[in-house]
Amino acid sequence: MPHRNKAITKDAQDKLTPMVVLQDFIEGNSRFVRDEVHTIDHKALITQTTESQHPKAIVLSCIDSRVPVELIFDQTIGDIFVARVAGNFENTDILGSMEYSCKVAGSKLVFVLGHESCGAIKAACDHVELGNITSMLNNIQPAVKKSEGEVKGKHNSSNTEFVDKTIENNVKLTIQRIREKSPILNQMEKDGEIKIVGGVYHISRGKVMML
């Protein structure tokens, strides 16, 4: 198995391109699926990143415990920023975190990661109302409405096709809103400094499918 004992330096980060980082993610996920991930010298990486960090990407993920972001992409200490919220949607704080990651800290990739069998998506499909969960799920409703016009049958969580389509639409609409709401990230992408992409993690197989 490959071994990691060197953290990303500023020079190494500067040499990365968005496509190189994306390919690294894809290859890392393939290693995860094959159960051939890197062995990690955590102590060495902790020492090297104590004073600074130069992550290659930021991932917006759901909070789901079955989606350990660093593991599924075979990344480790110092490699990636991770923002997590149930339903992996953007808000002002997450947009600010993305802008910091890319514009200030030099990351090359924004990856919006949805996942199979997402409880937040199912709850949004069922229009669940409960405490602060109600307002949280409102962020996912645009994806639910889009799916209602694309999938036949029942428009609730009992319809697996409807849920799966909503998971995909939520990722796509989140990417669209990131570009609309963040002139900084939008311009960086236009200038080729970053890429904004998305995918869906299939928890049953360990595989990330790009959208």
How deeply is 91 buried, as exposed, middle or buried, from its count of CB atoms within 10 A (0-12, 13-18, 19+)? middle
Predicted TM-score of the model (pTM): 0.97
What pLDDT was estimated at residue 108?
A: 98
pLDDT tens for residues 52-94? 999 999 999 999 999 999 999 999 999 999 999 999 999 999 9
What pLDDT was estimated at residue 129?
A: 97
CA-nearest of 99, 107, 68 to 84 is 68
Q: 30 falls in which pLDDT band (50, 70, 90)?
A: very high
The radius of gyration of the chain's CA atoms, rounded to the nearest angstrom, is 18
Q: 1 falls in which pLDDT band (50, 70, 90)?
A: confident
